[in-house]
Structure 1
Amino acid sequence: MATNIGIMDSAYFVGRNEILGWINDRLHLNLSRIEEAASGAVQCQMMDMTFPGVVPMHKVNFDAKNEYEMIQNYKVMQEVFTKLKITKPLEVNKLVKGRPLDNLEFLQWLKRFCDSINGGIMNENYNPVERRSRGGKEKSVKGSSKVSKSMQTNNMHQPPPVTTSNKTFGPKQAKSHAVGGGSNSSAEVQALSKELEDLKVSVDLLEKERDFYFSKLRDVEILCQTPELDDLPIVVAVKKILYAADANESALEEAQECLSQSLGLGAEEVEQEAETQT
């Protein structure tokens, strides 16, 4: 069971479109943005599909909009993790903010985890729409009908709307035509916004990969700065590579030469040793 997945695992290089396609295909949804899964309901149902009977779907609210409602969904998720002894930490405070990168990372992990169960084969008897209708969404729909009735009752007691003059109506009507005429430009803006969002996600992933490798180099540097190891030939050679200027392409050759000299190996001995190994 793949619960602990390293940060450089291929799971974290799965794109946003593939994740959305995976969710929409399995749960019969039509999500277009990663942020739409920030409520935690989608994640709960993915676990329900993977582990039938483990998730109390009646506690899952698919219409959660406020953070406190989303937190309740993640509490359900945490209970499921505890039952299944999954050690993956749930960073709820980040996920409920709806930031694309945080939610994308968790969904990338979730996809890898679900794919590791039964080879990722879907349960053919699982009906995602029926499971949702039995869960929290049904309650929220009933609640919305009650609200609509009360709004209708209140509207009956309110005075009729005040009509406007022709002078006021003219500019408004012209404005509405202007807005309608710009529908094509608004579609272009929306498409560019999505493209910009994808680019931001890609940049965030590249920055994370850069920070990962930088932290590794920093760990090596700290290790080389240990006083007991400072004068060792191998440490001196590694430092030459770490502190070499960007334009210095021969850092590795210099490090190897320094190491050879420190070990008392001449050029001829190095060549003979290399020929012996070949």
Structure 2
Amino acid sequence: MGESRTELLQWLNELLQINYTKIEQCGTGAAYCQIIDSVYGDLPMTRVKFNAKHEYEFIANFKVLQNVFKAKKIDKPILVDKLVKCKMQDNLEFLQWTKRFWDSNYPGQGYDPVGRRRGAPTDTPATIAPLAPSTRATSSAGLSATGSRGSGGKTPIGGRRPGSAQSNEALQALQGQVREMSTHMEGLEKERDFYFNKLRDIEILVQAQAEVLEAAGESDETLKKIQEILYSTEEGFEVPEGGVLDEEETF
């Protein structure tokens, strides 16, 4: 396929009526889902989050896509662990394949992307940029400041080095990345707590029912199996003395 990144983005935005500016933004999985929906028209779009901001939400979108691929017998591996990192090359290759698939299978009928999303928000996703570019920017700013000194190594009159503006910009970029990563971590912690609370509720229910059966001189193999799963540990993991796991160490 000969499309450039610009042409792919133009096709994607026109087809889905969105406003992506980078190939990397496809790493949320939402756009891939709706491209396939435009072909078949039966993908569960209510489960697709176009405004996903956290990696676990990206993975949920790709899970929807994987289920459709399986149901439609589409023989194409989806490298979710790579795509959700929002790297350009991985998503470019998958978007190119998706465009070829669409070209070969799109039935040609009119498609209403907004209607299929049922008015769900489609904020243009922000991707987490690697720290390396900002680090290089900081180094370049430092070199610029050093290189602009006079031959005697003194700072020019005025008390401010020419590289200070670049340094401030690099610092602000790093601070922005730290804030974005902190938000990402908060989302992961909320997800951990959500599933921990679910497991805790199941444990309490199972324990209560087991005690009732034990008092009646009975037992239930299914309850025993559930307890075995709940209390199982990975190889090499040791339960702290006292048999109680600290909540922070549960996941």
TM-score by length of 2: 0.47
Larger Cα Rg: Structure 1 or Structure 2? 1
More helix by share: 1
TM-score by length of 1: 0.42
